[in-house]
Structure 1
Amino acid sequence: MTSFGELALRPELQHVLDALGYEEPTPIQSESIPPLLGGRDVVGQAATGTGKTAAFALPLLQRLEAGGAAPQALVLVPTRELAIQVAEAIHRYGRELGARVLAVYGGQPITRQIRALEHGVDVVVATPGRAIDHITRRTVDFGQLRTVVLDEADEMLDMGFAEDIEAIMEAVPAERQTVLFSATLPKRIDGLVRRYLTDPVRVLIRTEQSTDDTARVRQVAYLVPRQHKANALGRLLDIESATAAVVFCRTREEVDSLGEALAARGYRADALHGGMTQDQRDRVMTKVRNRTTEVLVATDVAARGLDIDHLTHVVNYDLPNAPDSYVHRIGRVGRAGREGTAITLVEPRQHRLLKSIEKATRNKISVETLPTVADLRARRLELTRSALAETLREADREDAHEQYRVVVDTLTDDYDLMEVALAAVKLAHEAGQGDPDDDVADIPQVRPSADGDQDRVAPHGGGGGGKSRPRSGPTTTIFVSLGHAAKVRPQDLVGAIANETSLSGRQIGAIEITHKFSTVEIPTDAEAEVIAALQATMIKGRKARVERYKPPAERGYKPKRGRP
């Protein structure tokens, strides 16, 4: 399919597409829309930003009979932001059909949503939790649904919505068209496909197609010790002169603290994460779209589905554990032919993970030396020079600076003209750029060691330091309430501990994984730190109960011996 005109869409839809300037469908649209129009179930995989919304929205609107008594289509999405975005897109495509579209999500008064449902809705776009609320309250009738769409299915499973999805699918008609779209198709998606889709057409837009745009993205990484990452980020943003940047962090707490640190440094920075109220999130996104926020610090989940037209930089403040997540993040600056920069801050122990991402994505990520204070000062002087040059060009065109000539004339009676110019440049520089006084204590430079297992740390311009040594002394075994049933592997536990605590992988001892739980041996003096960190993070997309391990007799069951 080379044009939307080949689809024989309803005139109202085709007119809207023409008005929006849509001509050639994207690969996911070209492969998915024809079978969907033919009534087939479809499983589609394509990266974020490749046009999945139109791929399922146009076929469901083609079948829509607007003005009915009950919804005819349900779209399930993982986040509130994505619910709003998808609802707006469907409303835009279906405006000439009179399609009534409602976004249903948590954080908004449910009474407002109930009133809208009572007045009549054709398409409901919902997060799973709020959809369950309405089903339980019997404030929505899904008995006449013709189409159910699971959008970003992998993300919904990662967020723990599996049981909610099952309950929703049991509440919808058995005779329906079911569509599943996802950026990735891990094995756990197969269960959903087998249970809820009938002989689906599978559409796979391979990485080479879906990530073509990343070829226009400059990808660079810096090895930075964890305690220096905030200062390193500020220095890189200064050097890069980013117009708009999204900085990805792993946790809500880190998003908040980093946002505050950047604001204190003078950046117009805001935070975005799932712990904020909807009003707070809406205010942040309004500021981003109005370009009054230049740095958005966000978690992956909160930023899912966001598209910022003027974005120039993406920063992986925390390196994602999965190559697909890396591709999704950096693809935000490579859309629609735009160029951009992707910066990754890599902690010393993550150097191998960076190499695995390079291998999986077939992208070369250049590991560069962190700019020094001297580099930063030189960059700021260059910005001052550029600003003055622009001012001089304006003066040539408009003679706008003639009123200041009297100041120069009087000063040159007592001072050399060059001295006057230097003093003026100094004032302009201090007013516009200043000096990086917060960077006087330089950030250590990290160099990978020869064996690639540990890394050497040295100050800029200095020699190498010694390797970090594993802790010695007594050990403690901790209990983690996830095992083979949750598809937990030893590397998942090692990664969670190494990424969230001061321990390295080599300091973690024996790991045993049973069907229901796991045990991990760690240094005794790190027990409190590890337990607190694991309780606050997700392992394989799930929260775990973590505590000191008790003997088998006290628990009532016995762990299997030996490594899995």
Structure 2
Amino acid sequence: MSPKDPATPGFSSLGLSPSLVSAVTALGYEEPTPIQREAIPFLLEGRDVLGQAGTGTGKTAAFALPMLHRLVKEAGTKRGVTRGFILVPTRELAMQVAEATHKYAKGLNLTVVPVYGGSPMDLQIRALRRGADIVVATPGRALDHLKRGTLNLENVSVLVLDEADEMLDMGFADDLEAILESTPEGKQTALFAATFAKRLQSIATKHLKNPARVTIAAEKTVAGKLPKIRQTAYVMPRPQKLQALDRILEFEDPQSAIVFCRTRLEVEEVTESLQAHGYGAQAIHGGMLQKQRDRVMGLFRSQKADILVATDVAARGLDIEHVSHVINFDIPLSPEVYVHRIGRTGRAGREGVAITLVDPRQSRLMRNIESLTRQRVEIAALPTPSDLRARRMTSTV
């Protein structure tokens, strides 16, 4: 989204309070995204919502703005009592959603508290005791607080399940049920997911009342919707990939890059190789301590590390605008994962670059990707030593 003239119609046409419209305008939001345009009016009416939309569609504002609108309008309620509750699958997403909601709530005198695993429990308990109008939580840590009595959901009037399909895929089905049973029957509920499997449908049927159904097609998978991402593939056997990656990085000279690997072991191997060649590379994967992952993400967000080597799980939910290149060290088995990966670049109107290293035996996977995106991926020859010399001369001119 880009800055807009506050006088032009945008979020104000959806029925949000002037203070919220001012907040999103000040943040540079222009027109509502499709999910925001569809979901916000239903939520402002007090209806339950079942939303199907992928990452990068603007879901956070779609549920956070109506929640804030409602909590401010609820008269006679003591501030600091938890009335808004947002469940998300990962720590990183909890931090992002809490930060965004806090920005939207500027000047509203509402407190937003994130609670997630890997962070000191005593700090979270103190924050909750000071008062939390809105809590953003991961299922495991939310259940811990409920069992300890440090989180009270009896006064929740708005509940959001974000990326609910991911929560089920990560094994949180029982935790979700236990948490939902701790909330009042009369609450408003919004459930968002990229896909709706049978078990998710059963949760929606049980916990949502006559929900409004909002379905937004993921723009990234539609033909012609990746015009700002240059897609290239290099074909080579597995043993040549590390050397090839080094040459590609020297030739491309990325401002900031994410290198996706399939396994934790591969992440470590690629990171060590890049560091040995002088790159500011940092690894992130699910086997690391949360403190380590936080430190790595801090370095990457502040651009003190220019290459993030990651597994898909570790990178889920990340939204970093300055990524210029995405490199698939391994071609993903699912074309949808490919689209999700390369969607990390080409943000905010900038042109992005997506590069994939393909084993000769994986040509079928490449064809599946082209079939889904309906775009050709250019098969290129690796930059030669003379290409690199020419590039060095150009960059020093």
Give me the TM-score of the superposition, normalised by structure 2: 0.91
The aligned residue for residue 341 of structure 2 is: 329
Q: Is the Cα contact below 8 Å between 2:14 and 2:37 reproduced in 1?
A: no
Any conservation in 2 of the 1:70–1:142 contact (CA below 8 Å)?
no
Mapped to 2, the partners of 1:175 and 1:5 lie a distance apart of 28
What's the offset of the Cα at 1:347?
2.5
Q: Does 1:47 align with 2:54?
A: yes
Aligned length: 385
Q: Deviations over 1:34-60 (max 9, x none)?
A: 111111111222232221110110010
Change (3 A) 1:188 1:232: farther
Distance 2:292 2:59 in 1: 28
* AA at the equivalent of 1:4: F
Indicate if the aligned counterparts of 2:53 and 2:215 stay in contact, CA closer than 8 A. Answer: yes
Per the alignment, do residues 126 and 344 of structure 1 end up closer, same or farther by CA in structure 2, a change over 3 Å counting? Answer: same
Q: CA deviation at 1:209?
A: 7.0
Q: 1:294 and 2:306 equivalent?
A: yes
Q: Which residue of 2 aligns with 1:150?
A: 161
Q: Is the 2:80–2:111 Cα contact (8 Å) retained in structure 1?
A: no
* Structure-2 residue corresponding to 1:58: 65
Report the Cα distance in structure 1 between the residues aligned to 2:178 and 2:189, rounded to whole angstroms: 15
For residue 200 of structure 1, what is the amino acid of its counterpart? P
Deviations 1:254-282 (Å, cap 9, x if unpaired)?
Answer: 22222111111221100112222233222
Aligned residues of 2:46 and 2:188 also touching (Cα < 8 A):
yes
One-letter amino acid matched to 2:61: A
CA deviation map 1:480-510 (0-9, x unaligned): xxxxxxxxxxxxxxxxxxxxxxxxxxxxxxx
Cα displacement (A) at 1:226: 2.3
Per the TM alignment, residue 322 of structure 1 is displaced from its structure 2 partner at its CA by 2.5
Q: CA deviation at 1:217?
A: 0.6
Which residue type is aligned with residue 95 of structure 1?
A: K
Query: 2:113 matched to 1:102?
Result: yes
Question: Cα gap change, 1:141/1:322 in structure 2, threshold over 3 Å: closer, same or farther?
Answer: same
Relative to structure 1, the CA distance from residue 266 to residue 188 in structure 2 (aligned partners, 3 Å threshold; closer, same or farther) is farther
Deviations 1:336-363 (CA, angstroms, capped at 9, x unpaired) = 2111111122233332122122212323
Quote the residue 1:18 is aligned against.
25
CA RMSD between the two structures: 2.1
> C-alpha distance in 2, partners of 1:94/1:259?
39
Decide which structure has the larger Cα Rg and report it.
Answer: 1
Task: Say if 1:387 and 1:215 are closer, same or farther in 2 by CA, change over 3 A.
Answer: closer
Partner of 1:222, secondary structure, is strand
Aligned to 2:359: 347
**SS of equivalent to 1:87:** helix
Unpaired segments ≥5 residues, structure 2 = 1-7
* CA shift for structure 1 position 288: 1.3
Distance in 1 (alpha carbons) for counterparts of 2:59 and 2:396:
46
The structure 2 residue matched to 1:383, chosen from 366, 391, 397, is 391
CA-to-partner distance for each residue in 1:348-404, whole Å, 9 max, x for gaps? Answer: 333212212221232322233334xxx1x2233223322442xxxxxxxxxxxxxxx
Q: 2:259 aligns with which of 221, 224, 247?
A: 247
Residue 77 to residue 11, structure 1, CA distance change in 2 (3 Å):
same
Deviations 1:307-340 (CA, angstroms, capped at 9, x unpaired): 2222111112222232222211111112221111
- The one-letter code matched in structure 1 to 2:299 is K
Query: 1:2, CA displacement in angstroms?
Result: 6.0
Q: Which residue of 1 aligns with 2:190?
A: 179
1:265 aligned onto 2:269: no
Structure 1 pair 157–310 and aligned structure 2 pair: CA distance change class (3 A): same
C-alpha distance after superposition, 1:448-472 (max 9, x if no partner): xxxxxxxxxxxxxxxxxxxxxxxxx
Partners in 1 of 2:366 and 2:198 — Cα distance? 24
Paired residues of 2:80 and 2:110 also in contact (CA < 8 A): no
RCO higher in 1 or 2 (8 Å CA, sep ≥ 6)?
A: 2
Q: Structure 1 residues 352 and 187 mapped into 2: Cα distance closer, same or farther (>3 Å)?
A: farther
The match for 2:15 among 4, 8, 16 is 8
Instruction: Provide the rounded CA distance (Å) in 1 between the counterparts of 2:363 and 2:216.
Output: 29
> Quick one: distance in 2 between partners of 1:357 and 1:255?
23
1:368 to 359, 368, 380: 380
What TM-score comes out, normalization by structure 1 length? 0.65
* Partner amino acid, structure 2, of 1:6: S
User: Could you tell me how far apart the structure 1 residues matched to 2:213 and 2:367 are?
Assistant: 31
